[in-house]
Chains A and B, each alone.
Chain A
Amino acid sequence: MISFTINGKAQMVDVEGDTPLLWVIRDMLNMKGTKFGCGKAACGACTIHVDGEAVRSCSYAVKYAEGKEITTIEGLGTADNPHPVQQAWIDEVVPQCGYCQPGFMMATAALLNKNPNPTDEDIDKNIINVCRCGTYYRMRKAIKKAAALNANSITNS
């Protein structure tokens, strides 16, 4: 049995410890927002947070999740209460096919946690996921917008 917290809820899973966390999340816990793109930690579609750090879950054995706090796109925000990153994505109408977008939003949220006001260079170095529709241009705008929304929410709260 492996125990962890996912999106704020305690969870126990009975699974072979080397199983990629991605498949535990998608197929055992039935949360489909975290995507399979390549299974080789190359595309970033499966990006989640483990203890607040961006992790590519296809390349993360579930045994390492023991005792950790996991956040997926489902835990980042909701339609009624979106995370600033999601709000910025909505404001800029970023998604096209949408498949890669949760991974990008999770990577962006991790970036803003560490670096609330990233420069273009910071964005280029940290947001290295793959999007085939070519939404990068709008994503860059949304990342900057999310940083501004974040700053506002901190100021207001």
Chain B
Amino acid sequence: MGISRRKFVVRTLLGGTGVMLGAAYLGRNSIRRSIYDMMENPDMLSYMGDTSNPLMWFEITNDNKVVLHSPKVEMGQGSFTSMVQMAAEELEMDISQISIVHAETATGNIDGMSTGGSTTTAGFWQPLRELAATMREMLKVEGAKKLGAEASSVVASKGTISAGGKTLTYGEIVDGVTDWEIPETPALKDPKDFKFIGQPVARVDLIDKVVGTPMFGMDATMPDMLYGAVVRPDRIGAKYKSSDISKAQGMPGVIKIVQEPDFVGVVATSIVEAENAKKAIIVDWQIDRSWQTKDIEDAIQVGKGDKMIIQKVGDADGKLEDGGEGIITAEYRSPIGAHAQLEPNGALAHVESDKATIIMSTQVIQLTRSEVAKRLGLDEEKVNLVPTYLGGGFGRRLHTPNAVQAAVLSKAVGKPVKCFFNRKEEFQKDTFRPPTHHQLKAKLDANGNIEALEHSFASGDVMFNAAMVPAIAGTILGADIGATRGARIQYGNIPHHRAVSWHSELPFATSWWRSLGLLANTFAIESFMDELAVSAGKDPIQFRLDHIQDDEAGRRLKAVIESARDKAGYQDTANGKSAMGFACSTDAGTPCAHVAEVTVSGKEIKVNKVTCTIDPGYAVNPDQVKAQSEGCIIMGLSASMYERMYVEDGQLRPTIYGPYKMALMRDAPKEIDVEIINGTGKPGAVGEPPLGPIGAAIANAVFRITGQRLREMPLTLA
């Protein structure tokens, strides 16, 4: 698929200081294809830009810099760096000549979906390089004209066009050009000629992040800015009825108290004053029920809610009928998980009579702009959403309606208002990782191979009811494809296997949490695979290899397994109080295997080292693939070993770091050894797949040390 010429648009910048090049790229897929492909199909990781507007991508300034306007956001995953690498490669520029910024929606370059699902680098692999190559060819044509040379004879290098001993910079070439010739999409560079792609280029945001440059949503300012605070309920299901603001009115710094049909908020001259006044507002909440953890656990049970068979090979159902001979079963559970990203949710909004500007950290630019426009009664084009760097995403910012509250407060006072969650609100009004329950059943044949395997699991919503997904998705897809990430059996040689999803709604929001269902599903399946290997008296790694089919996915999975095994020097028996544990998974087309080296002292589990092999298809930036793998391992370790939200008397708790125990420096492995296999030559998912196997790898090691099979996260020794 190439870019159609007619879809290019060139816009001369105001004041004639440069030019922006835009292109409409890719037709919008049907809802089903798009969502499904994004979530599950590695070959279709696609950029889903809006085709109704031209997309402004490159800005070339007269001082010979290219500014790349990214419709995807940078939340730590390193996409900005890989995008610059791809652009620099085809533009024939140095990395330092390209700067990358978040595209304001006013540029028209708006991603219709989101940043998430480990899709950015993979999705841009083809289109971004094609755009850059086209731009380079356009510059060659105009450069040749200015140099009086044939376009075919000019050479592009380091941001210049040369011919016959004369050189012009790109900045000089764009000067004064108003009518561009747009060539057909040129051939892309042969990988053997790559200068930047495939190299461990330092993050483009590295220096800013080390010297404390203001770059996050919460750092945004505007002249005459005021501070807002919105009263949020601490009870599950509480609905706003009315509020008594008499005590809050007239408190120091209070500019206005804003009572809306659905919420009440304060605008004040400082955050402290806004928060102080907020505490003095008495809200009457409608609360129908006081929930407890047990209610939630009862709701999330295999056998309850809506059932859907999401994988079926052979007759697993028949082979594993209740009461049958030699059936091995086990149950696993995972708790409610919080995102706990460090930068709270919030926005800076400036609403004027006929337009609005919103500056914020969000993973859903288009959706948020649309929600703000709707509430304000403005056309979407009148709302300019200015995305910033995210102080952590992890799925928490895949719905950010808090921008609406900031906008309403701004409109009420006629000035810019910055309004953020406090930490308690962040914990209690999170869009949590849903709790899960898993039932595993299997039967071994006479040779100790798996004859039949079934994974039944229950989960709350991940994708269902998520604002960014059309409500119709549930009807089209049947099962919640967020919850099903990692739920299918990846061992194709098992003659009879199936996966069954049970879905129940919970009384609080559950949604996307980095890797979605992968963490819990892999914990259950890969722990159970270990149980089966032990039952069969086999080496757990060979046992897995024996059950993997011989197709491309199978060969790639086998390769990462063997690599991790060999690099770690896997030993299947404990050495005193230490042992190794193994697990693997394939997520969004990326196979990944971990060997965890664990020590147990008393009831304390300590992970000393993790050896990881990942095959992302192709690593555009190997250093950042390693960084994402290290981060996934530590975040997954944290969720598997320490984290748990509970429900007590209608409240989600705890409400602060510490009581919500997470991995700290001392808990992180002192060694993480990541090996990358470029299995396909085309980049795939990286930012989530390495989260999958870590919980099971740790639990499998603990079993070898203690004989205890830990089937519930967070892992706790008896």
Contacts and interface: CB of A to CB of B under 8 A. Distances in A.
Interface of A: 16, 19-20, 23, 27, 30-40, 42-43, 45, 72-74, 77-79, 82, 86, 89-90, 93-102, 105, 120, 123-125, 127-140
B665 A132 contact: no
A55 B274 CA distance: 24
5 contacts: A36-B218, A97-B342, A98-B389, A134-B630, A135-B631
A136 B632 CA distance: 12
A96 B342 contact: no
B76 A124 contact: no
Interface string B620-662: 0001000110111111001000000000000000001110001
Nearest to A139: B665
A77 B632 contact: no
Nearest to B213: A33
Q: Which of A72, A98, A128, A135 has the most C-beta atoms of chain B within 10 angstroms of its own C-beta?
A: A98
A120 to B, nearest CB: 7
A140 to B, nearest CB: 7
B512 to A, nearest CB: 15
B389 A97 contact: yes
A95 B342 contact: no
A139 B667 CA distance: 13
A122 B631 CA distance: 22
Interface residues on B, range: 35 or more
B414 interface: no
A133 B635 contact: yes
Nearest to A81: B211
Given A37-B423, A98-B205, 4 more contacts: A37-B343, A90-B210, A93-B627, A134-B633
Contact of B422 (A39, A102, A139): A39
B112 interface: no
A133 B74 CA distance: 13
A78 B77 contact: no
Nearest to A77: B211
Contacts of A130: 340, 342, 657, 662, 664
Contact of A32 (B202, B212, B252, B633): B212
Interface stretch (B5-13, B190-198, B391-399): B391-399
Contact of A89 (B210, B218, B634): B210
Contacts of A140: 665, 668, 670
Contacts of B221: 30
Name the 7 nearest CB pairs between A and B, nearest first. A33-B212, A134-B634, A99-B391, A97-B76, A98-B209, A96-B76, A124-B666
A120 B666 CA distance: 8
Contacts of B390: 97
Given A90-B210, A96-B631, A97-B76, A137 B668 contact: yes
Contacts of A123: 665
Residue among A36, A78, A95, A137 facing the most chain B CB atoms (10 A cut-off):
A137
Contact of B210 (A101, A120, A127): A101
B641 to A, nearest CB: 13
A84 B208 CA distance: 16
Contact of B393 (A45, A72, A93, A97): A97
Contacts of A16: 252
Contacts of B423: 37-40, 42
B161 interface: no
A101 to B, nearest CB: 6
B211 A137 contact: no
A86 B207 CA distance: 9
B343 A99 contact: yes
Contacts of B216: 32, 35, 99
Contacts of A127: 665
Interface string B664-685: 1111111110000000000000
A133 B271 contact: no
A78 B211 CA distance: 6
Interface string B64-84: 000000000001111000000
B270 interface: yes
A133 B668 contact: no
Nearest to B418: A27
